[in-house]
Structure 1
Amino acid sequence: MNVQGTKKQTHSIVDFIINKRKHIEKFFIIMVIICAFLNTFVEINYDLTKYLPDTTPSQQGISVMRKEFGYPGTARVMIDNVTLYQAKAYKDRIEAVDGVDMVVWADTKKDVYQSGEFISSKDIDEYYKNGYSVMDITFDEGDASKKTSKAIDKIMAITGDKGHFTGSAVQSKSLSENLNIEVKKATVICVGLILVTLILTTTSWFEPILFLLIMGVAIIINMGTNIFLGEISFLTSSVGPVLQLAVAMDYSIFLIHSFTAEREKGMSLEDAIAVAIRHSAKSILACGVATFFGFIALSLMKFSIGFDMGVVLAKGIFCSVATVLFLMPSLIIRWSGLIEKTAHRSFLPPFGKFAKGVFKGRYAFVALALFVAFPAYIGKGMTDFVYGAQAVGAGVGTKAYEDDQLINKQFGRSNMMLVIVPNTSRVTEKALAKELDNLDYSKSVTSLADTLPDGLPESIIPESITSELHTKNYARILMYIKTKDESKLSFQCSDEIQSIVKKYYPKESYVVGTTPFTQDIKTTITSDYDFVDALSILSVAIVVMITFRSLLIPVLILIPIEIAIFINMLFPYLTGNRLIFMGYVIVSCIQLGATVDYAILMTNNFMESRARLGRKEATIDAIATTTPPLLTSATILTMVGYILYFTCSISAIADIGHLIGRGTVFGFTLVVTVLPALLYIFDKPIQKHMARMDRLREKKEAKQKALRQNLNSKLQFLNAHNEQSV
């Protein structure tokens, strides 16, 4: 019996990719069709309250509120040039709109039990003055509800040109209507500018089209597989695809550059692509895995919008790497003639002189980076942050923003708090409402116990009215205060209100609203940051350590990346701008994930050059070789960031875009200047470590070789024995 004859012939994954390329193409075509269809069923969520942990007071209060009363959307409407009686008529018409739960105005308390007295409120100036009238509206359903949106449309039709609208429901409606248009606009601009950038930085007119096709396939597959999440946040939906396009473009550039280099050596088509896959796969997989785990760290946030964005972005990296390594080689082979026919000279100049200049200033670059690092780290922690829904409101220049400014100018701020207490005693409820009403910053307080005259039984009031403020188990008190939704003053007021409520109702009482919700976001997300930041750094460091089999290289790689992040996050403090903290956490991970790709490629090129050159020559060669692809990638990511910044009216998305754009510039600059200098300075311990690792690998290979030879000898002995037996 011939044992060797029964041994099956093995094929590498590279052989599979090349030999089965037609099947691979069919698989991706089917996946694109399926995922494009599935993407139409992915819901977009605009309600940030869904992402708070169930253990927070706000989420517990919202849960009780939804069960007992529903969780209402809110809005304010100001009507121009009306008399007091006309304002009352508008109020009645608005209150009759389907979807409107209650309209708080000067006559609200009297309307509850239909007194013949019209308006006797001493606070009438809060709702009517100088021919302007303002009303606070609560809806039957939430801010993002379709019913609420339709109700706002009807109210706008009632008020016509006289109406001005603000509030969370209006912001949510504006967000859902405008975001899709703005993202499409930003995407078209991004694709156009990316195409121009690729044309200028590649050596074939067809290569940019191939890159965009590959990324388009990966993005569609990623978006379609979001169906398994059920819904994604508006933030993820708007920035996810363009970030995937910008961050993952590197992988296709790595592969095509390697393929072109092998073809120029005279290799055949299939041999060149096989060598290109083997040569570039290490960098692609290392970059992809490092970026993947950097994004996965986001998914462990307690404020689960991080899970939403982290999973989608990490999945996007996986889809991109798989598409580049499996589909792109097939398309390169299919269209190789077109790629070669459309070849042109490089529009980029040689980077040899640039590399020599960077090398000459190596010590100055390192010294400057280290000098800036500490103050930048301290300064970024002094930035004034925004945590809540204020950051997702419409930006300067939009009608929603202008209306908000007009209403606040005439009547000041109006911030709604919803107090939920057990329905146990009208006396206690009335005392609580009175104390809340007497607070200096209180604008109005509406409760059933405080509104009904003493001795009048609740049973004579229609249930349609009482159900707005009372259920069998709970009472609801509507309170409006004269503060912003998010500020130090509003947080102080919220704390005082909550302490007063707890004084009367120590158990099962809640204060719900934008301000207490924002306070809980702040508490949750600030505790998330240190954990997420440390985990993302650790995961990237482990991937780099495994890739280069070194403990020192991850440290050297992370130094310029982290300094770039510190400097980027320092700028809002220097310019006096408030920064959305959610964006701060997200962009820290994105900048780390994107920039580590640059650092891995630079280090990999240095190590390859160092194997055949001295450390000076290897450093210069690594800079000259790495800068062109990094310049392409960094230019694309910077453009994507700034396009989001300039085209999006939503503050949160614009801020994220600005941070990404600016952060990429700093990341690219420090990776090209500081990292090569660190590799040069620490060359001796790096080479010593690598030599030791090579010796260990050689010993391991020698052992494996000896084992194989021993096994072959035994097999030959068995074969000879079997032949003699026969």
Structure 2
Amino acid sequence: MKEKFFRGVVKHKKFIVIGFLVFALISILCKQFVSVNYDMNSYLPDDTASTVSIEVMEKEFGGGIPNARVMVSRVTIPEAMELKDKIKNIDGVDDVTWLDDVADITIPIDTLDKDTVTTYYKDSNALFSVTINEDKTMEAVEDIRTLIGDNNAMSGSAVDTAIATESTTDEIKMIVLIAVPFTLLVLILTTTSWFEPIILLVSIGIAIVINAGTNLIFGEISFVTNAAGNILQLAVSLDYSVFLLHRYKEIKGEGLEPEEAMIQALCKSTSSILSSGVTTVIGFLALAVMKFKIGPDLGLALAKGIALSLITVFIFAPGVILYCSKLIDKTEHRSFMPSFDGVGKLVKRLIMPSVILFAVIIVPSYLASINNDYYYGSSKIFGLETKLGQDTKNIEDEFGKSNNYVLMVPRGDFDTEENLSNELKSIKEVTSIVSYVDKAGAEVPMEYVDEDILSKLISDNYSRMIINVKTDYEGKEAFSVVEKIRSIAKEYYGDKYYLAGQTVSTYDLMDTITEDMISVNLLSIGAVFIVLVISMRSISIPAILVLAIETAIWFNLSIPYYTETPLFYISYLIISSIQLGATVDYAILMTERYIDFRKEFHKQEAIKKTVSVVMVSILTSGTVMTGVGFFLGYVSSHGVLSQLGMLLGRGTICSLAIVVFVVPGLLYILDSFILRKKKVVFSKKEDINLEVEEVI
């Protein structure tokens, strides 16, 4: 059945190649219509308390939460008022809050409450709290920057989103310009024909283009998928084409005609390629169970991409390779790779020390990996080396940390609102509250209040309080304030209140993705294990391979713990699935070739030959994945993407080290048990001779 299918693929190669090229052109056009979302908080589940609060607020008041801080230096109060009006008139700015909204600035400023004044005006510096419409974030942030100039500062989630959108788009182009030539160089070094690298890049490139275009079915993708999806697909699935090409050349070298050699290569490599591909797809699909929507977004897009890569390798690549067979032969060159017999001998000598070291690091690595410090939101995405990082520091140095929450309660009972406001002010981190009862007083009838002020604070159903808090956007202190405000509001209004804000969303984000951790990890490990059990018809081998790669993941994630480097939690979750799905391929290839060689050689010789043979294949893919990861890490200014890249690069090295040095040792130690389960027949005489050699 399998051979019949592949004979059909080879026979109809012309129509297949043309069909794929046409589909790729259509996909290029479709990609232009795929939009990208850079707002992390928008990926919270729809039923999250903070998400529901934002929806209610937008419906009742027609505006969102203050999401930007704008500091202008060396201005008088009249100049600040004039600037406030100019900012407010910018298209995309829904509201601007300043000192005049919380105090009467017509009286001498020295007579006003000092803490209230210095929250908004200090040493001739004015700090405005701005609400920017999420549909016009880019334009509004750019216009505000033009108005205030580069010498002044702005920060906040809206600015994060605008800068992430602009910088990531440019950085993606730079990463591609680096990653593609790097991949080409690696392929040139690891193949024996000048034209083979072109074929491999074309094959995987078609799959990447089709995947990017078919993302249109999602309508919108996350910034993580947009930035990392293509290069992750390149790095993860490149080895499928490499495995096929190597097997084709190996069989063709035995004297078969190209088409027959391709059919046999497809038949013989199907098991290893399909096992590798399916485990990778499963690893990515595990992200789809996350409640935090970036997980399903990236997981589904990458799973689709790997599936398309597999289809491309089995259906499109054979035709391309056969059409270019003569070019491959004509451009043959000597191998640039050294013989890896020495590595095989080294691994053979280090079998026991490697396994012992592996056993020692398992528990400490696991414990360290689950005890890292984390960032959950977007407040730490841009470091001090960026303009936004510097702006944020300048604002905080002058005015301290500041954060805005919006609390909505049922309108009508102003006495209760006044009591609520007074109790909220008793929270030491609360610096000011803008509300109807604070602005006008509970005893002042609404008809005597300015309509513009009234519309911001009272709707048909709710009264709104804008609470200014002197904390960072996330962390223990900030999350403690959220809990205190929710507790006080619940005391007065039960469950009939709504609380929104960047910190509130980040708090809910923390709850959401922390819950995701167990389900994602268990599902990815369990699913990969089951796929391997089915494909290998063994329980012991999958257990060995999964434990080996999981240990590499734990070791990778333990490094931030020992270096006291906080992780973005979303990077932590994503890398766990990606590293497992992407690098278990190397362990599968190592194991299958070992079992093949074990039929002919005693176990030490089988280990040496296995390592020697598979090194080129796994180094090709591993080097590309390591390089692509580090390129993403160094080039991207976006903290999540940069950290994800560094974890990918370092994680691949960890996996390679364990696959090359530890997996052979585990196979060696458990050799009899594994082969008995696999029902592999081997020469007992050779093993008797080996035992004599080992004694000697």
Bin the TM-score by the shorter chain. Answer: over 0.9
Distance 1:453 1:419, change over 3 A: closer
| Distance in structure 1 (CA, Å) of the matches to 2:401 and 2:196 | 55
How far did 1:354 drift?
A: 1.0
Within the alignment, does 1:103 sit opposite 2:103 as a pair?
no
How far did 1:454 drift?
A: 5.0
| Distance in structure 2 (CA, Å) of the matches to 1:455 and 1:385 | 47
Q: Is the 8 A contact 1:244 1:317 kept in 2?
A: yes
1:673-703 alpha-carbon deviations (Å, 9 max, x no partner):
1111111111111121122899xxxxxxxxx
Within the alignment, does 1:500 sit opposite 2:488 as a pair?
yes
Within the alignment, does 1:131 sit opposite 2:124 as a pair?
yes
How far did 1:389 drift?
A: 1.8
Within the alignment, does 1:31 sit opposite 2:20 as a pair?
no
Superposition pairs of residues 423-502 of structure 1, within 5 angstroms: 423-502=411-490
Within the alignment, does 1:88 sit opposite 2:81 as a pair?
yes
Query: Which letter maps to 2:92?
Result: G
Q: Report the equivalent of 2:627.
A: 639
How far did 1:395 drift?
A: 2.8
How far did 1:424 drift?
A: 2.9
| Distance in structure 1 (CA, Å) of the matches to 2:151 and 2:550 | 52
| Distance in structure 2 (CA, Å) of the matches to 1:577 and 1:263 | 51
Q: Report the equivalent of 1:63.
A: 55
Q: Report the equivalent of 1:185.
A: 174
| Distance in structure 1 (CA, Å) of the matches to 2:90 and 2:540 | 67
Q: Is the 8 A contact 1:107 1:118 kept in 2?
A: no
Q: Report the equivalent of 2:691.
A: none
SS at match of 1:325: helix
Within the alignment, does 1:280 sit opposite 2:273 as a pair?
no
How far did 1:462 drift?
A: 4.8
| Distance in structure 1 (CA, Å) of the matches to 2:680 and 2:592 | 18
Q: Report the equivalent of 2:354.
A: 365
1:147-197 alpha-carbon deviations (Å, 9 max, x no partner):
x33232332232224421111111111011111101110111111111111
Q: Is the 8 A contact 1:174 1:394 kept in 2?
A: no
1:350-369 alpha-carbon deviations (Å, 9 max, x no partner):
01111011111101100001
How far did 1:382 drift?
A: 1.7
Aligned mate of 1:312, from 291, 301, 310 = 301
Within the alignment, does 1:539 sit opposite 2:543 as a pair?
no
How far did 1:58 drift?
A: 1.5
SS at match of 2:149: helix
Within the alignment, does 1:517 sit opposite 2:505 as a pair?
yes
| Distance in structure 2 (CA, Å) of the matches to 1:471 and 1:671 | 63
Q: Is the 8 A contact 1:80 1:163 kept in 2?
A: yes
How far did 1:210 drift?
A: 1.1
Q: Report the equivalent of 2:688.
A: none
SS at match of 1:101: strand
Q: Is the 8 A contact 1:75 1:138 kept in 2?
A: yes
Q: Report the equivalent of 2:568.
A: 580
Query: Which letter maps to 1:631?
Result: L
Query: Which letter maps to 1:331?
Result: V
SS at match of 1:389: coil
Q: Report the equivalent of 1:166.
A: 155
| Distance in structure 2 (CA, Å) of the matches to 1:174 and 1:208 | 36
Gaps of 5+ in 2: 683-696
Query: Which letter maps to 2:197?
Result: P
Q: Is the 8 A contact 1:73 1:169 kept in 2?
A: no
SS at match of 2:291: coil
Aligned mate of 1:121, from 109, 112, 117 = 112
Query: Which letter maps to 2:71?
Result: M
Larger Rg: 1
How does the TM-score come out when normalised to structure 2?
0.94
Q: Is the 8 A contact 1:246 1:633 kept in 2?
A: yes
Q: Is the 8 A contact 2:550 2:580 kept in 1?
A: yes
Q: Is the 8 A contact 1:430 1:447 kept in 2?
A: no
How does the TM-score come out when normalised to structure 1?
0.91
Q: Is the 8 A contact 2:9 2:315 kept in 1?
A: yes
SS at match of 1:593: helix
Query: Which letter maps to 2:309?
Result: S
SS at match of 1:49: helix
How far did 1:238 drift?
A: 0.7
How far did 1:348 drift?
A: 0.9
SS at match of 1:508: coil
How far did 1:455 drift?
A: 4.1
How far did 1:464 drift?
A: 3.9
| Distance in structure 2 (CA, Å) of the matches to 1:280 and 1:73 | 57
Q: Is the 8 A contact 1:640 1:657 kept in 2?
A: yes
| Distance in structure 2 (CA, Å) of the matches to 1:268 and 1:208 | 22
How far did 1:466 drift?
A: 2.0
Q: Report the equivalent of 1:404.
A: 392
Sequence identity (%): 39
How far did 1:394 drift?
A: 2.2
Within the alignment, does 1:14 sit opposite 2:6 as a pair?
yes
Q: Is the 8 A contact 1:110 1:118 kept in 2?
A: no
1:575-617 alpha-carbon deviations (Å, 9 max, x no partner):
1111011110100000000111101100111111112222221
Q: Is the 8 A contact 1:434 1:450 kept in 2?
A: no
Distance 1:304 1:154, change over 3 A: closer
SS at match of 2:464: strand
How far did 1:10 drift?
A: 11
| Distance in structure 1 (CA, Å) of the matches to 2:204 and 2:547 | 30
Within the alignment, does 1:530 sit opposite 2:518 as a pair?
yes
Q: Which moved more, 1:415-424 or 1:86-95?
A: 86-95
How far did 1:46 drift?
A: 1.7
Q: Is the 8 A contact 1:101 1:468 kept in 2?
A: no
| Distance in structure 2 (CA, Å) of the matches to 1:383 and 1:473 | 44
Q: CA RMSD in A?
A: 1.9
